[in-house]
Amino acid sequence: MIRERAYPVEPWHVREIRLDMDVLAQSESVFALSNGHVGLRGNLDEGEPHGLPGTYLNSFYELRPLPYAEAGFGFPESGQTIVNVTNGKLIRLLVDDEPLDVRYGELLSHERILDLRAGTLHRELHWRSPAGREVKVRSTRLVSFTQRAVAAINYEVEAVDGPIRLILQSELVANETLPAQSRDPRVAAVLESPLQAEEELTTDDGGLLIHRTKVSGLRVAAAMAHDLHGPERTTIESEGYEDWVRTTIGCVLKPGQTLRVVKYLTYGWSSRRSLPALRDQVGAGLAAARLDGWDGLRRAQREYLDEFWDAADVRVEGDPEVQQAVRFGLFHVLQAGARAERRPIPAKGLTGPGYDGHAFWDTEMFVLPVLTYTQPSAVRDALYWRHTTLAQAHERARTLNLKGAAFPWRTIEGPESSAYWPAGTAAFHIAADIADALRRYLLVTGDDALEQEIGLELLVETARLWRTLGHHDRNGQFHIDGVTGPDEYTAVKNDNIYTNLMAQRNLLTAADCAMRLRDQAADLGVTEEEAAAWRDAANAMHVPYDEDLDVHEQVEGFTRLQEWDFEHTPPEKYPLLLHYPYFDLYRKQVVKQADLVLAMHWRGDAFTGEQKLRNFLYYERRTVRDSSLSACTQAVMAAEVGHPELGHRYLREAALMDLHDLNENTRDGVHMASLAGAWIALVAGFGGLRDHDGTLSFSPRLSSRLSRLEFSLQWRSMHLRVDVRPHQTTYSLRHAGPDAVLDLRHHGEAIQVTRDRPVTVPVPPAHASGPPPEQPLARAPLLHLPENDS
């Protein structure tokens, strides 16, 4: 686990003040840079030592067979795994023939800084070689938000006690050797040399490599070029082979002199373009990067992020760790989606190979809600990506003897890549999650063009899935049987409440949209009778309820299942999925992650306040949080039902998931959903944001640890700023026209905000909510604030 002292608490930086070899892989994920198209793990410049090398391109994958002990009809036959593509980060340094390797000689100082406003990773080190020669190295790395294919490194070496002879080797390397895979199902499959060489080219100041995957047939090109600033007799030459190109730079530095090298990198890949076309593409990328130069790239990066933070920043007073963490989370969420451009947002972004680089429902229900209110253009692209996979979703539905679209549980390009039925195919709720992300995006942006181009079709095809997946019983109630909800410890059950309620909204949204866009709906074969059938199913949706216990059932019959023996489950046996058979988990009242509680967040309009409190208390005692998706939702609902202090502890757990490596798998990439969850816990939890009926609604109420929470939301062409204090909240509009008016609700009261008239309203006092909720033994929130910490 990452020790707290490794990252001092600062509002706009994540700073590593010493190099800890025990958590090198985790820090590589934390310090990863990406723009949604290119991802560079935070490996050291010299490449070694490393925890897990990684350079990724969104949706660049290799196919591999999915093994089954016993095959069955409809089982997916192949999986997709993200490929570690050509590594362009490598810059090796030799000081008088001694390779700079932090494991040798003496590392006098070492610091790395992830600058959340500049969008750069900066590194400074002071090293004494085994022969006693000292150098200072400063490097700054960026992955450009404004030039999608470009990354760049500014690398400087200063002689301390020269003169010294420096040899700098800058490389492109394909088919790096990767560490062996563990047995943890959350990590990726290891691919042995997945890239076949097609072309190698060298120039005086760089070169390029072009490779192709062996099975998926995807082609990737990587190119580099260098600008030099050093002594007059600085030399440069390049050489290349099929899997590597190396540019060697040499000079002699006197004490105080500096060699500065700017390395430009460009990447491109395609399943269709020819080798010459891809070669030209990366060549053009290098030309564009050099046209701007290092200073221009860095300036454009800062300007891009200034605009983003102006619209998206969250200010937290009272908990400095959360302040740092929520900005860190927003930065990584932006990196995952900013330039994905009709490609998926994977569960780990492009920060590591965890989950094979797959996208799940996490994207739609955790990441996209944040981006919808902060960077809606990224959501637009993510929805277009889902639409590009519609043909495969149709085919999957036909295989399952269903109508409409059955979207995959996990995928990169569109086909189902989960070989595990209960938590894969049976998790049909992903269809409603996609529909809800679309509904929210349309609500917030008013993007009529997208609604007509792809929105209606996505809603229609997901509604058709629910109408054929579910059925009316003899009493007219509508049931959806044999499915898995968000809680993967309760699998293949009837009438999962989350699934049913999200499907209900999906059906009603589709019917409304089809009747508004009648001509387009008719082109899709929708009749008034079909839309009426969707409404009938939605209005008759069964919602399981235990009258004796006076709580909702997560699935039909959940409350009569045997209780899990928490008393005799030792802490080292968590997560349960790694230590107990699923057969045992499926038969007991034990919850991996918020499920019914998640339904109360996203479909809070289907529950009364009293029901929410009773449900929360019941399921809190049974939820073990073996998933990083759970803490933020429990934070939201704890705050809503009157337990803000518990909500604050869950907020901290969600926010610090990766900065503290709480699940001990940050080495494989950061957790995008949990990072997004920090924003959700603050804005939806303590800010009380809801959008159930199409109107912005807030019920802000802070924990005792928070003295102020301030955040912005984009709504149509306006920026709403919400400033929450313990006893009052101020709503104001920014970047709005002179006649702009926004109607919203504050603790149920209608208010109207204009550009020239901010509205300040009191926060009503909280009502007593009974005894504190209880968690399973040893599963209370992991991170508590010290008593005297402010």
Q: What residue segments make up the domains of the chain, in order of their start?
A: 32-273+300-310
- What is the pLDDT, as a whole number, of residue 482? 97
Buried b or exposed e, range 615-637, using 16+ CB within 10 angstroms? bbbbbbbbbbbbbbbbbbbbbbb
- What is the pLDDT, as a whole number, of residue 739? 87
Residue 259 has, within 13 A of its CA and on its CB side, a CA count of: 30
- What is the pLDDT, as a whole number, of residue 237? 97
Map residue 319 onto helix, strand or coil: coil
Mean pLDDT of 481-503: 97
- Is-cis flag, bond preceding 49, omega within 30? yes
Q: Contact 628/673 with Cβ under 8 angstroms?
A: yes
Mean pLDDT of 375-404: 97
- What is the pLDDT, as a whole number, of residue 182? 58
Name residue 142's beta-bridge partners: 152
Worst-scoring range by mean pLDDT, 75-84, 148-157, 459-468? Answer: 75-84
Between 198 and 419, residue with greater pLDDT: 198
Alpha helices in 341-469 (DSSP H): 362, 368-374, 376-388, 390-399, 429-445, 448-450, 456-469
- What is the pLDDT, as a whole number, of residue 622? 98
CA neighbor of 632 nearest in space, from 424, 433, 486: 486
State the amino acid at position 612 in one-letter form: K
At residue 162 the predicted structure's pLDDT band, cuts being 50, 70 and 90, is confident
- What is the pLDDT, as a whole number, of residue 188? 54
At residue 189 the predicted structure's pLDDT band, cuts being 50, 70 and 90, is low
pLDDT at 6 over 70: no
Q: Which two tokens stand for residue 498?
A: 């989350």
The string of pLDDT tens digits covering residues 300-341 is 999 999 999 999 999 999 999 999 999 999 999 999 999 999
pLDDT at 4 over 60: no
Name residue 240's beta-bridge partners: 245
Has 171 been annotated as catalytic?
Answer: no
362 labeled binding residue: yes
- Is-cis flag, bond preceding 185, omega within 30? no
Residue recorded with tokens 């149920």: 748
Name residue 183's beta-bridge partners: none
593 labeled binding residue: yes
Mean pLDDT across the chain: 94
The three-point CA angle 655-658-662 to 5° equals 90
Residue recorded with tokens 């809190």: 620
Q: Contact 270/217 with Cβ under 8 angstroms?
A: no
Helix (H) or strand (E) holding 742: strand 741-746
Mean pLDDT of 355-383: 97
At residue 790 the predicted structure's pLDDT band, cuts being 50, 70 and 90, is very low
The string of pLDDT tens digits covering residues 628-648 is 999 999 999 999 999 999 999
CA neighbor of 130 nearest in space, from 163, 107, 111: 107
The string of pLDDT tens digits covering residues 498-553 is 999 999 999 999 999 999 999 999 999 999 999 999 999 999 999 999 999 999 99
State the amino acid at position 498 in one-letter form: Y
Q: Contact 209/244 with Cβ under 8 angstroms?
A: yes
- What is the pLDDT, as a whole number, of residue 187? 52
pLDDT at 184 over 50: yes
- What is the pLDDT, as a whole number, of residue 789? 45
Q: What is the C-alpha separation between 220 and 275, in angstroms, rounded? A: 9
Q: What is the C-alpha separation between 583 and 740, in angstroms, rounded? A: 57
Number of CB atoms found within 10 A of residue 210's CB: 24
pLDDT at 788 over 50: no
- What is the pLDDT, as a whole number, of residue 75? 83
* Options 62, 321, 457, 488, the catalytic residue: 488
The string of pLDDT tens digits covering residues 62-100 is 998 887 767 778 888 888 999 999 999 999 999 999 999
Q: Contact 729/761 with Cβ under 8 angstroms?
A: yes
CA neighbor of 104 nearest in space, from 94, 114, 112: 94
- Fold entry, domain 32-273+300-310: Beta-galactosidase; Chain A, domain 5 (2.70.98)
Q: Contact 500/486 with Cβ under 8 angstroms?
A: no
- What is the pLDDT, as a whole number, of residue 68? 75
Helix (H) or strand (E) holding 326: helix 320-337
The string of pLDDT tens digits covering residues 281-300 is 999 999 999 999 999 999 99
361 labeled binding residue: yes
The string of pLDDT tens digits covering residues 205-262 is 999 999 999 999 999 999 999 999 999 999 999 999 999 999 999 999 999 999 999 9
At residue 771 the predicted structure's pLDDT band, cuts being 50, 70 and 90, is confident
Q: In 116-149, where do the E strands start and end?
A: 120-128, 134-143
Under DSSP, the state recorded for 357 is: G
- What is the pLDDT, as a whole number, of residue 435? 98
Mean pLDDT of 750-775: 90
